[in-house]
Chain A
C-alpha cells in the first residue's frame, strides 16, 4: 500500500486535540444530563474516539458520512459546529436539527452528515444509496458508513455489503467493534466472530485494525480510501475498540467485569497517543493542559449558546413533515452535484 499519512508534530497534536475535544464534550453532556437539561438516551463514545477521529481525518468535504446513534464523536470530527451540536442536545431551536433529532439523530447537510441513525443497521442502505448517486452522477466522492458490530447481526449488513461490492460502489464500511451490542457479547450473537472475514466473503477487501490507536486507524483509513477512490469499489475496516462506560446513561453493566473494563482503560486511545508523543518529545510539558483549557472554553461557549437558544415555537411542530423543496440541492446547486 502506498497511502502515506503525515505524522508530523502538528498532525499528531491535532489528532490528540480532536480526541480530547470529543471526550470533554461528552463529559459536559453527562453533567447536563444529570442536571436534566439533556434527556432521552445519551450514548457515550468514551473510549472509541480514535475510530472517528482517525477515519474522518482522511475524508474530503464532498464525501458523505453515515453514522449511528453513538455519533457525537463523528459529528465533532466531521466538523459540525459544537454550538449547533450542543443546542441540539438541549433540544433547542439553534440545534442542528432544530431540536427534532436530539443526541441520536444528528444531521448536518453542510458537512454531508446523514445521521445519526438509531435503528441498528438502518444507515447501511442509505450509504449504499448516496454512493450509488455519486457514482451515477460522476461525482468524485465516497460514503463513509459507521456501524457497530451489533449491526453485523442484521440482514441489512449482508444485503448492503453484497450490493456495494456487486455495483462497485464507493463506500467505506467502518465497523466499530466494541464487543457488546448493548449487553450482548459478540460471542453469543455471531457464529463467526471474525467480522472482517465476513466482508471478504462478499469479495470486499477488509482489514481489522487496533481501534485504540488513532495513528493505525488513520493509516488503515488512508489505504481504504485510496482503494475506493481508484474506482475499485468498497472497502471494509473493522476497528477493534471498547466503550468505557455504559451502553446508554443507565446500565448496571452486569454483562462484563470491572477487570475487563480496567484492562481496556489501560489502552485509552487518548492516553496511548499522549504517552507516545511525550516519550518521543512531541508533546511538551503543559501543552496538554493548555489544549484542554482551550477546549473547555469552547465547550463553555457552546453550552452558553445552547442555554440561550430559544425553544422551537409550538406552531412549528408539524413543519418539515412534508417538504416544499429539496433544501440540500439548494445548498449544493442543481442535482446535488456541487461539493
Chain B
C-alpha cells in the first residue's frame, strides 16, 4: 500500500500536466510565460526543460490569437492545453471562446468538435485589486457548449485534467489563486476522478451549503464552527460548474430543507443565482426557509486588505447567514 505524500495544489496541477504530456503526444501546453518563466503561478516550472519548446510553448501577449490557435489546433488533431494567466485576461479571448470554441460544433451541424482544455487562475485574496482578482467563472458557466471545472481539492487538481483532455468538448478549468500554496496529502487510493458530479465534502442534516473552488475551504471552516453550536451542514463542492449536477444539490436540499450558496462571484446574475433558482423551481415545497447567498460584495475588488476581505465571502459571513436562517441569532 502506498503512503500519502505531502504535496501542494500547485504541484498537483503540474503533475497533471506532466502526466498528460507523457500520455499523449497530441497534448501540448501553450500560454504566456509557461516555458522559460515557469508559469506566472509557477505551475509549469520545469516542464520546458523536460518536454522542450515545441510542447511547452511560450506565446506572445496575444490572448485572442493563442486561444484561437488552440481551438484551431484542437480541431485539426491536437489536444492543446491553453493557459491564460488569469480569468481577467481571458476577456481578451472571450470572442474566440464564445464565438468559436463553444459555437462551432453546433454551428457546423456536428461536423467539428473542439477537444480543447483552457486553464486559468481565478479569484481574489492577494491584494491584486480590481483587474486581477475577479471570479468570472459564472459568466463562462452561462455558455452552452462549454464544460466548466473548478478543482478545489488536491485530488481534483491532480486528476481532473486527464478526463478534460479526453472530453470532445472545450473544457475550462478554473484554479483559485489562493489554493496554489495549499498543502496536504494526496489520497493514494484516488487515481482518477470524474468531471460530472458534485461531491458532498461534509454531511449534515440541518442546512445545505453549496459552493466550489476557493470558497470550499471557507465553507468547510464555517461548517466546522457551526457544528460546535450543534448545526450540522451538508457541504456540496460543485466541482463542475457546467453542466451542473442538479441531482446532488436537490437531494441534499430535500434532506436539509435549507440552502445557502457560497460563491465568490458578484451576487447579481451569479452562478449562485442560477443554483438558487433551480432549487426554487424544483424543490420549492421541500424548503423550510428562504434561500440565502453569500457572494462577493458588488464592488470592483479593492486593493487595501481590510476592504478586500470585506468584499470577499468569509467564514464569518457564512456562519452569520446560517445562524440567521436557522433563527439562532448570534
Asked whether any CB of chain A lies closer than 8 Å to the CB of B205, the reply is: no
Residue of A at shortest CB range from B30?
A: A132
Q: Is B169 an interface residue (CB 8 A)?
A: yes
A68 to chain B minimum Cβ distance, whole angstroms, is 13
Cβ-defined contact, B60 with A162, below 8 A: yes
Measured between beta carbons, the chain A residues less than 8 angstroms from B59 are 163
* In the complex, chain B residues 180-215 whose Cβ is within 8 Å of any chain A Cβ: none
| B window 45-65: CB within 8 A of A | 54, 59-60, 62, 64-65
Complex CA–CA separation, A114 to B71 (angstroms): 11
* B105 lies within 8 A of chain A by Cβ: yes
A322–B170 CA distance with the chains assembled, in angstroms:
9
Identity of the chain A residue whose Cβ is nearest the Cβ of B99 in the assembled complex:
A119
**What is the CA–CA distance of A98 and B28 in the complex, to the nearest angstrom?**
33
A65 CB-CB contact with B under 8 Å: no
B111 touches A97 (CB 8 A): yes
Q: Which of A105, A162, A324, A336 contacts B107 (CB 8 A)?
A: A105
Q: Are B105 and A125 in contact (CB under 8 A)?
A: no
Chain B residues near A134 (CB-CB < 8 A): 76
Neighbour of B72 across the interface among A99, A107, A128, A325, CB < 8 A = A128
Question: Do B112 and A159 touch across chains, with their CB atoms under 8 A apart?
Answer: no
Flag whether B168 is at the interface (Cβ < 8 A). yes
A126 at interface by CB-CB < 8 Å: yes
* Chain B residues near A64 (CB-CB < 8 A): 76
- Whether B95 and A122, one on each chain, are in contact in the complex, defined by CB atoms closer than 8 angstroms, is yes
A176 to B174, CA, bound (A): 39
Within 8 A of A (CB), among B134-154: 144-145, 147
* Residues 291-322 of chain A, each 1 if its beta carbon lies under 8 Å from chain B, else 0: 00000000000000000000000000001111
Instruction: Collect the chain B residues with CB atoms within 8 Å of residue A128's CB.
Output: 65, 68-69, 72
Contact between B96 and A125 (Cβ–Cβ < 8 Å)?
yes
B residues less than 8 Å from A143 (CB atoms): 72
Q: Give the chain B neighbours of A321 by CB distance below 8 A.
A: 105-106, 144-145
Chain B 97-148 interface residues, beta-carbon cutoff 8 Å to A: 99-100, 104-113, 115, 144-145, 147
Contacts A107-B104, A137-B77 given; indicate if A125 touches B72 (C-beta within 8 A): yes
Which bracket fits the contact residues of B?
35 or more
Chain A residues 255-299 with CB under 8 Å of chain B are none
Residue of A127, A137, A143 with highest tally of chain B CB at under 10 A: A137
Nearest CB of B to A140, in Å: 14
Contact B109 A130 (CB under 8 A): no
> Are the C-beta atoms of B73 and A328 separated by less than 8 Å?
no
User: Known contacts A107-B112, A328-B75; is A129 also within 8 Å of B70 by CB?
Assistant: yes
Please, which residue of chain B has its CB at the minimum distance from the CB of A116? B107
Given contacts A100-B109, A327-B110, contact A129 B75 (CB under 8 A): yes
The reply to whether A132 and B65 form a contact with Cβ atoms under 8 Å apart is no
Whether B74 sits at the interface, judged by CB under 8 Å, is yes
B69 engages A335 (CB within 8 Å): no
B96 near A122: Cβ-Cβ < 8 Å? yes
Query: Do B78 and A155 touch across chains, with their CB atoms under 8 A apart?
Result: no
Chain B residues in 8 Å Cβ range of A124: 65, 68
Chain A proximity mask over B144-182: 1 for CB below 8 Å, otherwise 0: 110100000000000000000000110000000000000
Q: Does B67 contact A (CB under 8 A)?
A: yes
B72 touches A127 (CB 8 A): yes
Instruction: Name the 4 nearest CB pairs between A and B, nearest first.
Output: A129-B72, A125-B68, A336-B77, A159-B65
Beyond A100-B106, A129-B70, A159-B62, list 20 extra A-B contacts (CB 8 Å). Answer: A64-B76, A95-B109, A97-B111, A100-B107, A101-B108, A101-B109, A107-B108, A115-B104, A125-B65, A125-B67, A125-B72, A127-B72, A128-B68, A129-B71, A130-B73, A133-B76, A320-B105, A323-B169, A327-B111, A336-B77
A residues lining the B interface (CB < 8 Å): 64, 95-101, 105, 107-109, 114-117, 119, 122, 124-134, 136-137, 143, 155-156, 159-160, 162-163, 166, 319-329, 332, 335-337
A-B contact pairs, 5 of them (CB 8 A): A107-B111, A128-B65, A129-B69, A155-B64, A163-B62
